[in-house]
Amino acid sequence: MRGMCQSMSYRSNRGAEMKDRYDVIVVGAGPAGSIAAKTIATHGLDVLMIEKRQEIGDPVRCAEGVGKPQIKKHIKPDERWIAAEVRGSRIFAPDGTMVELSEDLSGAEVGYVLERKVFDRALADEAALAGAEISVKTRATDLIIKDGFVKGITALHIGGEQKIHADIVIGADGVESKIGRWAGINTTLPASGIETCAQFLVADIDIDQDRCEFYLGSTIAPAGYAWVFPKGERCANIGLGISGDVHAARPVDLLKNFVRTRYNDGKIIEFVVGGVPTSGPLEQTVASGLMLAGDAARQSDPLTGGGIINAMDAGKIAGDVAAHAIEEEDVSRARLQEYEAGWRDAFGKKMNRSLAVKNRFVTLSDDDLNKLAQSVEGADFSTVDLFGLLVTLVRKNPRILWSLRKMF
Ligand code: FAD
């Protein structure tokens, strides 16, 4: 088998030189960008993907949990990037009441815990193998816009600035995205629309390697949750996220407290902070000559904060639409609406539902959360998904979840 880094040493940008023109430029080599670049290259188009960091996938700002069936749509599972395979999940209410989800249920949500440093590189590698050019340590600093159409980017690469033209630019530049704003799209995230997170990779701890755990409660993670995702060999990602409008505590202090009370003997070998958009998607994700995908389009799930799969799905749809639009020589905003409609059709409805559930859950007291957990404690959830669990919760707790009754 061909080694993963063999093609990462690349061909990528032909000795660090980029051309002045491509069919498509993809900004950002995360899951959205790499899938978009691979899709476009597979259509036979000339595509450049740039990444501002010097190493794709590093540093990791992610708990690395993904659903098994969803990931398999995009890439063949490979043990090099699967850190752990879990068989279920446990959710703990503030009073410790546990709801246990089986593999069938939680496998669709968190079935693999990835090694994202390797995973993101594997995705970029597939894009390169399909024919995409890749340039690391290359930052988009502006867009070239003419007659209302995005026509390319200005990029800073190892000290030098270069204008690069393209028929379409795909902004896959993550939560801190600037591409959309440069194109005149309102990408403002209200404080309540971002979950601020802190995470430790903790070694040498006793945890159940077969299960992901989630902890709720105002003293643990106000308007958010804490997670423990096993990474194999007595190691786990232990983190938490709280709503950006909670100012009473800092995520890192809450996390230290969480780890101290539960895993005091563990050794912290990595620390990351980061934000996940939980606002629901942007109203508009296209402009003439431009599409936004992944966290740049705020496509992460507002309830769980999971964004890897939606980013990949959006990257695929954006890649296909880009290829067809270029073939038809029409990259107007009207033509690119096919992308807007496509991703909304694929997962927009689920996102809207998650947003409604999140908006209700962040207002619940610890007492309400305990009651919800107690109402389904010991129930058999082996044949339902997260939607099914929520249906049961709404049915059993009409008073607490009244506002969600029409949705479930
Ligand atoms: P990213 O993966 O963020 O990639 C964007 C890339 O663009 C980056 O590499 C960045 O360096 C690059 N870039 C930015 N600006 C420029 C520029 N100007 N020029 C060039 N390159 C640029 N999701 C899950 O599914 N499961 C989880 O368990 C999970 N846990 C999380 C835990 C934490 C603490 C956080 C912060 C997030 C978590 N997420 C999780 C969310 C997930 O990480 C993101 O949704 C996902 O990475 C989005 O992919 P993306 O391709 O849109 O963006």
How many A from CA of 391 to the centre of ligand 1?
31
Q: Is residue 131 part of a domain?
A: yes
Q: Is residue 17 part of a domain?
A: yes
Tell me, using a 6 A CB cutoff, whether residue 174 lines ligand 1.
Answer: yes
Q: How does the average pLDDT of the chain come out, rounded?
A: 92
Range of the domain at 40: 10-58+118-190+280-359
How many A from CA of 175 to the centre of ligand 1?
6
> Can the peptide bond before residue 281 be classed as cis, meaning omega within 30 degrees of 0?
no
Q: Is residue 150 part of a domain?
A: yes
CA gap 57, 120 in Å, rounded: 5
Q: First and final CA of the chain: distance in angstroms? A: 47
Task: Check residue 388 and report its DSSP letter.
Answer: H
Q: Is residue 327 part of a domain?
A: yes
Judged against a pLDDT cut of 50, whether residue 93 lies above it is answered with yes
How many A from CA of 233 to the centre of ligand 1?
26
pLDDT of 101-144, one tens digit each?
876 555 556 789 999 999 999 999 999 999 999 999 999 999 99
CA gap 330, 332 in Å, rounded: 6
∠ CA 377-382-383, nearest 5°, is: 120
**Average pLDDT over every residue of 179-202:** 95
- CA 239 to ligand 1: nearest atom: 34
Tell me, using a 6 A CB cutoff, whether residue 199 lines ligand 1.
Answer: yes
Q: Is residue 315 part of a domain?
A: yes
How many A from CA of 60 to the centre of ligand 1?
8
Q: Is residue 182 part of a domain?
A: yes
Q: Is residue 209 part of a domain?
A: no
How many A from CA of 176 to the centre of ligand 1?
9
| CATH number for 290 | 3.50.50.60
How many A from CA of 61 to the centre of ligand 1?
7
**Average pLDDT over every residue of 222-251:** 94
Tell me, using a 6 A CB cutoff, whether residue 262 lines ligand 1.
Answer: no
pLDDT of 368-383, one tens digit each?
999 999 999 888 776 6
Alpha carbon 403 to its chain's center: 28
Q: Which of 106-115, 146-155, 285-294, 307-316 has the lowest mean pLDDT?
A: 106-115
Q: Which of 64-68, 317-321, 335-339 has the lowest mean pLDDT?
A: 64-68
Query: Residue whose CA is closest, atom 31 of ligand 1?
Result: 62
Query: Residue whose CA is closest, atom 3 of ligand 1?
Result: 174
- CA 241 to ligand 1: nearest atom: 34
- CA 275 to ligand 1: nearest atom: 36
Q: Is residue 234 part of a domain?
A: no
The domain total for the chain is: 1
